[in-house]
Structure 1
Amino acid sequence: MEPMAKEHSAQVVGALEGRALQKRRSRTGRKELDQEMADSFVRRLCNLLDTEDFFGRYAALSPQEKIVQQFLASSEDKSQSDFNCAVSPKVRQQVPLLFQAIAGVMEERSGTMIQSTAEINHEGFGRGLLYSGRVILVLKSLRAGFPFPFTSEEKVIRYGVECVEEGLAFLAKYKEVTALHGLLSLEG
């Protein structure tokens, strides 16, 4: 009976490992991004980066090169933030710019005025908030700076597009509720 017990336990362990592997794959298998929305987000982010480029040093660069040189943190910046648990200057730059770009795309898509507020303290705790009037559309908490600093253009675009989609879905869901007084009404 001992060989049968070992064989049975090996089958059970194999099945459990297979399920765990399948769960990991399902988490990493992300849905496709809306390419039009991603392009809008990149354009908005580059416009914001251009406004901070006072002397036009990066004017001749492609949008991807602008994002890499002006927005993304280097691996040294990321390790510095991880090492001393303090927020690097790159993160302090990334947080408000990212949420302003997201608000711009949402405004473009919905035709509604969207505002952004982003704050982060020296320890990396804070929030990013997108709202229209009194309706909060997106609220992201920052814990120890996570998910900042971004070091990959793909991650920035994915995060931005996901926030836009979340905000637009919330706006569409509550459009009827706020139709009586409007999103920007001061009446209750």
Structure 2
Amino acid sequence: MTATTTQDPFIKTLLMFIRAHDQSGAWEAEPDEAVLAPYILSKEQRREIPLFGDPDPDILWRVEQYFNAIAMAIETQSGHAVAPIMKIHHEGWGRVILTAGKLVAVNSYMRELHRFGFDSAEEMSAKAAKIIAEGVATIARFPDVAAA
């Protein structure tokens, strides 16, 4: 991860959400790279994670923070309040929707949640940017529904 990556607006927002949950100050001295490390997994690391059993609560929390940061970015760009709703089955599949008013701005299906992660911070940011652009475009297309 480069210094440029940690200056990316999405990455900064994600770090803000993660650090906001640090009630004991354990992450205070940690560099941004260490805080983001659980999101970065190589393909080999992901293959080693078994798909049996319920998804780890830490993984669910990371997914939640990832989509919270996406929702915040959409809200900032569109001017409409955006809220994430996550429904994940105990086998590791489900979906996350981001709503603005009565509008479903983003509908993202999740599978193999046990293996949630990205090859790099740059890839994570690029995928988030795609979802953010989709959400902003949907709100722009249906502003009356988003305002309802």
Report the TM-score when normalising by structure 1: 0.64
- Is 1:63 the counterpart of 2:26 in the alignment? no
- Is 1:72 the counterpart of 2:43 in the alignment? no
Give the alignment partner of residue 127 of structure 1, picking from 95, 110, 115: 95
Q: Distance in 1 between matches of 2:36 and 2:90?
A: 24
- 1:143 corresponds to: 111
The one-letter amino acid paired with 2:29 is A
Structure 1 moving runs of 4+ over 4 Å: 73-77
Using the TM superposition, give the Cα deviation of residue 166 of structure 1 relative to its aligned residue in structure 2, in angstroms.
0.8
> Is the CA contact (8 Å cut-off) linking 1:130 and 1:138 kept in structure 2?
yes
Give the alignment partner of residue 19 of structure 2, picking from 39, 50, 53: 50
Using the TM superposition, give the Cα deviation of residue 99 of structure 1 relative to its aligned residue in structure 2, in angstroms.
0.8
From the superposition, tell whether residues 168 and 139 of structure 1 become closer, same or farther in structure 2 (CA, over 3 Å).
same
From the superposition, tell whether residues 118 and 62 of structure 1 become closer, same or farther in structure 2 (CA, over 3 Å).
same
Measured on the aligned residues, the alpha-carbon RMSD in Å equals 2.8
Compare CA radii of gyration and give the structure with the larger one. Answer: 1
Q: How does 1:36-185 map to 2 (within 5 A)?
A: 39-68=8-37, 71-72=38-39, 78-79=46-47, 81-84=49-52, 86-145=54-113, 148-150=116-118, 152-175=120-143, 178=144, 183-185=146-148
The one-letter amino acid paired with 1:119 is K
Amino-acid identity (%): 25
> Is the CA contact (8 Å cut-off) linking 1:99 and 1:117 kept in structure 2?
no
> Is the CA contact (8 Å cut-off) linking 1:106 and 1:168 kept in structure 2?
yes
- 1:13 corresponds to: none
Q: Distance in 1 between matches of 2:12 and 2:22?
A: 15
The one-letter amino acid paired with 2:84 is S
> Is the CA contact (8 Å cut-off) linking 2:97 and 2:108 kept in structure 1?
yes
Report the TM-score when normalising by structure 2: 0.79
The one-letter amino acid paired with 2:20 is T
